[in-house]
Amino acid sequence: MTVCEYRPGLEGVPATQSSISYVDGQNGILEYRGIRIDKLAKHSTFLETSYLLIWGQLPTQDELDEFEHEIRYHRRLKYRIRDMMKCFPESGHPMDALQACAAALGLFYSRRALEDPAYIRAAVVRLLAKIPTMVAAFQLMRKGNDPVQPRDDLDYSANFLYMLNEREPDPLAAMIFDVCLNLHAEHTINASTFSAMVTASTLTDPYAVVASAVGTLAGPLHGGANEEVIMMLEEIGSVENVEPYLDKCLENKSKIMGFGHRVYKVKDPRATILQELAEKLFEKFGRDHYYDIAVELERLVEAKLGHKGIYPNVDFYSGLVYSKLGIPTDLFTPVFAIARVAGWLAHWKEQLEANRIFRPTQIYTGIHNAPYIPRGERQTAEGEPVVPELVASNP
């Protein structure tokens, strides 16, 4: 077997063959099962898009009605999971709470029947239905309140905003939130989806697969960037301070959160749609002055880094939309996870259909056939002998 060239971060290295989504990074194109993301953002709902991603085609009205009904029926959490959440520290990050709860689902559904389509569908329904309830429940419980039960009369996005804010959302807010979920649902072989695939390839349960992906999404270079962007805009504080702030980042060679992408070398098409959604919200609910800072930052980053293909990615404007919807900053990444569960599950299912356990190789850079040096004769890196009494104390 020939060993491929080592590429840091596996840049440009195909890890699978997939028909779920496609990204053209040079022309800013994203397609889910061949349908352009702007069409799905305009015409589809998150649950319809989830069905498309996972089962490969748009559902008929009857198929969608049945799927939506199943989701509504499975939104509630086992009381033991709610009791477990009561033990979490209020100061804990919601992504850690979500990862723990996603893994805990596996305690209740431990049977593994990965070859059974009914098992696959049941796992898809439970995870899509329960993840939003987990996020909203932790939010209320960390404030010392009881979580509210899901409302079966509300659709997916309206119900999440209701559980989070304890009041029915404005229809425009619920519609815009649903579009945000659509935009974040899938994005080929990003880090968290790759985690999901590697975990899936060992034939473990889907709850462990999603828990693995949640942990990966949490990082600031990936899904955690949306939270970092808002903190960055708050730190900049004014339009006048944008250029000095940016120049300091460039001088320190630090990354500007919400910009750059391994694949896109133009503005992320999702960022463009999210910017339009933010402006719709501002028209109805009032402008956010951080938006003016963001627009100025985008202008200056394009001027200074556009030649390197550094443009806004999906995380740059999403936080401004979520803030306007009343979502706390540290819940931005859990919201990203609510959406991306659809993509992770689509890749989990696709991986099982042609599975081979992931086991890459390495370029070994260590030594060979090294001697075993008795403890009393070892020296520290500075050439000092190890202190003998330390050795004597070992049993």
Known catalytic residues are 261, 315
Closest to ligand SDX by CB, 205 vs 315, is: 315
Least separation in angstroms between CB 381 and ligand SDX: 30
* Shortest reach from residue 33's CB to ligand SDX, in Å: 16
What is the spatial distance between Cα 149 and Cα 134, in angstroms, rounded to a whole number? Answer: 11
User: What SS3 state is found at 111?
Assistant: coil
Paired tokens of 15: 């890890």
**Cβ 370 to ligand SDX, closest distance in Å?**
34
For residue 67 the two structure tokens come to: 């799927």
Return the number of the residue (150 or 258) whose C-beta is nearest ligand SDX.
258
Q: Give the single-character DSSP code of 329.
A: G
Q: Record the tokens describing residue 2, joined without a space.
A: 């020939």
Residues 206/212/216/218 CA torsion (nearest 10 deg)? 90
- Contacts with ligand SDX by CB under 6 A lie at 9, 187, 190, 221-223, 225, 255-262, 308, 310, 313-315
Burial level of 395, CB count in 10 A (0-12/13-18/19+)? Answer: exposed
CA dihedral 301, 305, 307, 313 (to 10 degrees): -70
Residue 32 or 156 having the CB closest to ligand SDX:
32
The residue nearest ligand SDX at its CB is 260
In angstroms, the CA 387 to CA 68 distance is 68
Least distance CB 385 / ligand SDX (angstroms): 42
Sheet holding 35-36, edge to edge: 21-24, 29-32, 35-36
* Shortest separation between residue 244's beta carbon and ligand SDX, angstroms: 16
Asked if 98 and 214 count as a contact pair (C-beta separation under 8 A), the reply is yes
Strand partners, 21: 32
Token readout for 78 is 């086992």
Q: Output 59 or 220, the one with its CB closest to ligand SDX.
A: 220
> Burial level of 262, CB count in 10 A (0-12/13-18/19+)?
middle
**Least distance CB 219 / ligand SDX (angstroms):** 8
Q: Measured from the CB atom, is 8 or 383 closer to ligand SDX?
A: 8
Least Cα distance to 160 among 325, 333, 344 occurs for 325
